[in-house]
Structure 1
Amino acid sequence: MVKKLLSHILFFFFLVTVQAQNKILPSQSVLDNSNHELYVSFSEVIHFDHADYLRILLTAIPEMEVINEEFHPQFEKGIAITDEQLNFMENEAVRISKSGQSVRNLRNILKIRIDNPTNERLLDLSAKLEKLTQVKYCSLLSSTPIQPPGDIAPVTTNYEPSQTYLLSNPGVNMTYAWGMGLTGAGIRIRDVEYGFNKNHEELVDVNATLAAGMTISSSATTEFTEHGTAVFGIVYANKGAYGVSGMAYGAQEMVQFPEWQEIGYNRMNAVSQAIANSVAGDVIIYEMQTGGQSGNYVPAEFNAAIWDLTKAATDAGIIIVAAAGNGNQNLDAAYYASYRDRGDSGAIIVGAGSPNVNHQKLSYSTYGNRVDVQGWGSNVRSSGYGDYSIFGGDFNQQYTDFSGTSSATPIVASCVVVLQSYYHGLTGNYLTGIQMRDLLKVTGISQGPGGHIGPLPDMQAAIQQINVMLSTPENLMVVFNVFPNPVKDMFTISVQEQVMVTAKVEVSNALGQKVYSAAIVSGNNEVSLADFQSGLYFVKVIDGEKVAVKKIIRQ
């Protein structure tokens, strides 16, 4: 994932090759000259019931004594998620996915520090550790980042007409959803990458923030940080009369969890914190890739530790939308057998397709059956960089034509956010990542020539499919009307069927915040909006298991 096709890089440790027993051996990796950190996943037969990890391992694994004498390793907790949050995630995973095993696996991932941690010594240690039956895998993660793949005067051109990916085929038809008042209300978005410009005119007035307690490294050049500005622009830019419009501009918030902070570069920490600060229904965007065969780029979850984190998150109901990577790699090839054998992480993997009705794989996109859907991989107008236009020489008024799986991924993520908001508004529940992925694939526009990157999302077809899903006999929607609409002070809800005594109405604002709730009866019910601000609101009528939502405008 990248800014331009010549960049094609967001991450660069060259991981692993494939070995029997589903292990990925760093000892057989091709590593660049950057520094790396070593993470080890131990099997569940090891119980880390206190923080003296070395003593536990020496007691449980006699062979560790030889390794300890040679390397003098220091062990520490590998996943920076509190025990309380892991307990919550495990309970959610059991509730949603019927198993908490994926979350429990995170408790047995340790980080190892050794003296003189050269790549050669880390590879040697990894090879010896992976001979132990109690070790599931070792993962080497780079500790060094590289180049990643209202209006202010003067007046900025309105670029929304140039955002043709918003329109129907060859676009995703987000304008159809907007016409229904669907903009992602109530959904929280997280983005994992390097940085973004909060002061850009498209982002300064929206709820786009850096995660609390995290920083963006002062060593990160604009080639790093403007990547995030472009991603934020596609998803969350201000919907106004200038510049671009974010596809899910009505979402509750968009928060970035940077990989590269002032304290150093740490992908594991960024992903862990994004997950730790998410709950069921939230959407995390992986604007990351990693090295596969011969260093060519593949999904970040090719790394086993990132895969474990991803699986735990999706089992707990968090949706993860991840770039396939710009390595033109066939994930169905023999080299990736071990990756496939892990199973389904639950993430939605996004390839890069052409911005025309052919929807063919672009030359650089990684592909294969594990790639689920595609987004535009070129000609995606967004904020940042300034290689398309700069107004008044102002850094905060720069625009670009974004590309790569970097641009494809936020397009798909925006569709996920808006569809999740619609489904939640109708049902009070959330789609899981696998359910959302199936919805996008079943209703999407078929791809054209090239390796498999899946269909392009079709918002109209997906919304209509949700309506079909909810129109089964056991879950009919409540039939009601609202008038007048737009509303000045009072409006009427007319319920056209007999409802239970427990039936109620809820009114939410465009951010998904509930602002009114009351009982409702059959016939006409009056509601006052006299004390409410002007804007878009959603009226939800709940009658037992039956739910329906309509939008209204307060003048």
Structure 2
Amino acid sequence: MAVLRGQPELIVVARSDAALRATARGLMSLAGADTTPLNDICARYGGTLAPLFGLNEDRLLRAAPDRPAFTAGPQLALYYRVDAPPERLPQLADELRGQPLVAAAYVKPPAEPPRLIDPPARAEEPPAATPDFVSRQSYLGPAPEGVDARRAWERSGGRGAGVRIIDVEGAWQLTHEDLTQNQGGVVGGTPFPDVDWRNHGTAVMGVIGGDDNGIGITGICPDANVSAISFNGLGTAQAIVAAANRLQPGDIILIELHRAGPRHNFETRDDQDGYIAIEWWPDDFDAIQFATRVRQVVVVEAAGNGSQDLYDPLYDARPAEFPENWINPFRRGDADSGAVLVGAGAPPPGTHGEDHGPDRSRLSFSNFGPVDAQGWGRAVTTCGYGDLQGGNNEDLWYTNSFSGTSSASPIIVGTLACVQGRRRAVNLPVLTSRGARDLLRRTGSFQQDAPGRPSTQRIGSRPDLRALMDDIESEATKLLKDAKDKESTKETHEKPKERSKEYKDKDKEVKDFEKDPHRELMKVPVELGHGGIGPGEGVVHVAARLAGLEQTVARLVHFIDPSLRPDLSVSALRNEEQPDRDDNVRALSARLRRNAEEAKAAKDGKDLEKPSER
């Protein structure tokens, strides 16, 4: 297998009170500290020290005021990268650690892709038209053998529409015939020129978003937009931050890298034993946390091919070169990057005529412990390499043998893109990275035991998109029901309020009448023919006032028992004779006065009865 490695990186963490800033003449301090020793050390080793994330803090704030990522994460401005000859980096780090303005200085081993094998390309040329290899992609099929991608494709948004994904690694063959429809190209870094780097990236892209075009393979989320950033020239942490700043909440970053850990004193090895997920290093951890917490992007990270229990106390020990406040992120808790860690599980026995152990059991090379989900770690059919279909044209290459946590991780990415696309289609909020992690942990096809590799060596479950789609439908249905119930409750509450207001208004009328039950009667002129009112005018005036009084009494009768209510069905003025006008008015006044008094007495009686009714 070819050696695929980046360059070691020397990372310097400045003290926050140093207020360092990079200038054309070297480092300076806004706090007035002497930076001459730092600049002299770098110059002596032929190195340059520059902000790890591309700009100093002030420039970041001015250049991207609309990016809360930078303003909310000032700790990123404390990181610097030293470019110097690789062989001189360890000694340079030792000298820098002795400086009072430096909180930490450490050398990161080269990052590598967590693949297992590089199968050689077949020599024979392919047919004129590439066959359809989808039948070989059993990982697309129903659970538990696959993730049941086809079930997701039946739903609106379930093919990943509207979701953007960035793959962070080394290189890609983006002119491949099966990567033309929803591919956003390389958007950062400088891809490595090596064909094995390209094969790896091309295989990853195929698993995620290979075109659904009737030839070759089809990706798990073929409608998602997939782009790439190479860490070459940037470093891993800067590549992650660059990816995060190009994405929106709910989009996805895939980290297809691992590196040598403390098991073998950070030494690179061809067998990858002891290799671990890159979040263990402080700058990579902060970059991932920046993506998950500040940018609200889902980060999926290969757990690595080092055969390690990431809960081993070995990983709790802080290297002397790290900052004093460093905590092992594999323990999560207070130091939780938020990323989804992916392990490698065995495919169903018999896949491509191979048997790698019980289906969904941990493959021996896969790291385990704080691992959230598993994908196929062997026998993945996708683009690249050329062992399934080869020849001289890389654009037509396909493989049956993509493997490692390299092949497992894009399966999880594709699954989550289907979930996010469906959630958007039904107007549910997209998952955060931690939300995605929790979902994967509580669903799926459970991990199985294998001889010497029990399921207690956790790599998590294999996703089941049928169950995940059903979960979304249930959530959407509940959301709709809750909305309807809320509207119904609102109407139920508003109607009693309206009735209560009506009763209050009527009660006010009663109370006003109780204060002076004769006030309307007193307004009636009874000395007709005197005081400026001529004959005939008083009757009209009295009639209007009595009619108004009758209306008032009528509004009060709903408080009176029916047997006690006065008879208001006949007008008080009907059948009255004109000649006896004065007597009639007096009689009507007396009658209405009695009616009012009876109404008041009846209401008082009802009020007295209420306590006994309770």
TM-score (norm 2): 0.63
Please name the residue that 1:466 is paired with.
Answer: 472
Choose between structure 1 and 2 for higher RCO, CA contacts under 8 A separated by at least 6 residues.
1
Q: Within 5 A, what are the aligned runs for 1:224-373?
A: 224-251=197-224, 253-260=225-232, 264=233, 266-292=235-261, 293-294=263-264, 295=267, 296-315=274-293, 316-337=295-316, 338-340=327-329, 343-356=335-348, 358-369=359-370, 371-373=371-373
Task: Give the counterpart letter for 2:27 in structure 1.
Answer: L
Cα distance, 1:477–1:365 mapped onto 2, change above 3 Å: farther
| 1:360–1:448 Cα contact (<8 Å) kept | yes
Give the whole-Å Cα distance in 2 for the aligned partners of 1:394 and 1:227: 16
Deviations for 1:384-428, whole angstroms, at most 9, x for unmatched residues? 1101222x6532211112110000000000011110111122226
Give the whole-Å Cα distance in 1 for the aligned partners of 2:85 and 2:141: 56
| Cα drift, residue 141 of structure 1 | 3.6
SS at match of 1:388: coil
Where does structure 2 lack aligned partners over 5 or more consecutive residues?
117-125, 268-273, 317-326, 349-357, 492-614
Please name the residue that 2:12 is paired with.
Answer: 40
Please point out which of 128, 135, 147 is paired with 1:172. 147
| 1:353–1:376 Cα contact (<8 Å) kept | yes
Task: Give the counterpart letter for 1:406 in structure 2.
Answer: S
Deviations for 1:319-377, whole angstroms, at most 9, x for unmatched residues? 111101111111101111142366110111100001126311100011112x1111000
Deviations for 1:135-177, whole angstroms, at most 9, x for unmatched residues? 554342457979966xx96122211111000112111111110
| Cα drift, residue 213 of structure 1 | 6.3
Cα distance, 1:239–1:144 mapped onto 2, change above 3 Å: closer
User: Which sits farther off after the overlay, 375-384 or 40-49?
Assistant: 40-49
Please name the residue that 1:140 is paired with.
Answer: 107
Give the whole-Å Cα distance in 1 for the aligned partners of 2:205 and 2:31: 47
Please name the residue that 2:462 is paired with.
Answer: 456
Please name the residue that 1:531 is paired with.
Answer: none
Deviations for 1:442-496, whole angstroms, at most 9, x for unmatched residues? 11221122321111111111222223334446764789xxxxxxxxxxxxxxxxx
Where does structure 1 lack aligned partners over 5 or more consecutive residues?
1-5, 13-34, 94-99, 480-496, 501-555
| 2:251–2:298 Cα contact (<8 Å) kept | yes
Task: Give the counterpart letter for 1:323 in structure 2.
Answer: A
**Structure richer in helix, relative to its length:** 2
Cα distance, 1:36–1:406 mapped onto 2, change above 3 Å: closer
Cα distance, 1:162–1:476 mapped onto 2, change above 3 Å: farther
| 1:378–1:403 Cα contact (<8 Å) kept | yes
TM-score (norm 1): 0.70
Give the whole-Å Cα distance in 2 for the aligned partners of 1:458 and 1:207: 24
Please name the residue that 1:553 is paired with.
Answer: none
Give the whole-Å Cα distance in 2 for the aligned partners of 1:213 and 1:66: 34
Please name the residue that 1:447 is paired with.
Answer: 447
| 1:373–1:456 Cα contact (<8 Å) kept | yes
SS at match of 2:426: helix
| 1:143–1:265 Cα contact (<8 Å) kept | no
SS at match of 1:454: coil
Percent identical pairs in the alignment equals 27
Please point out which of 201, 216, 223 is paired with 2:177. 201
Please point out which of 50, 53, 70 is paired with 1:76. 50
Cα distance, 1:74–1:216 mapped onto 2, change above 3 Å: closer
Give the whole-Å Cα distance in 2 for the aligned partners of 1:319 and 1:213: 19
| Residues paired across the two proteins, number | 431
Give the whole-Å Cα distance in 2 for the aligned partners of 1:144 and 1:377: 20
| 1:350–1:408 Cα contact (<8 Å) kept | yes
Deviations for 1:22-64, whole angstroms, at most 9, x for unmatched residues? xxxxxxxxxxxxx63322223544445774873217834x7x6
Cα distance, 1:399–1:419 mapped onto 2, change above 3 Å: same
Please name the residue that 2:128 is paired with.
Answer: 154
Give the whole-Å Cα distance in 2 for the aligned partners of 1:439 and 1:59: 50
Please name the residue that 2:378 is paired with.
Answer: 378
Task: Give the counterpart letter for 2:14 in structure 1.
Answer: F
Q: Within 5 A, what are the aligned runs for 1:439-518?
A: 439-449=439-449, 450=453, 451-472=457-478, 476=482
State the superposition RMSD in angstroms.
Answer: 3.4
| 1:39–1:139 Cα contact (<8 Å) kept | yes
Please name the residue that 1:110 is paired with.
Answer: 80
Please name the residue that 1:422 is paired with.
Answer: 422
Task: Give the counterpart letter for 1:286 in structure 2.
Answer: I
Q: Rg bigger for which structure?
A: 2
| 2:160–2:418 Cα contact (<8 Å) kept | yes
Task: Give the counterpart letter for 2:183 in structure 1.
Answer: A
Cα distance, 1:326–1:213 mapped onto 2, change above 3 Å: closer
Task: Give the counterpart letter for 1:157 in structure 2.
Answer: P
Task: Give the counterpart letter for 2:365 in structure 1.
Answer: Y
| 1:354–1:378 Cα contact (<8 Å) kept | yes
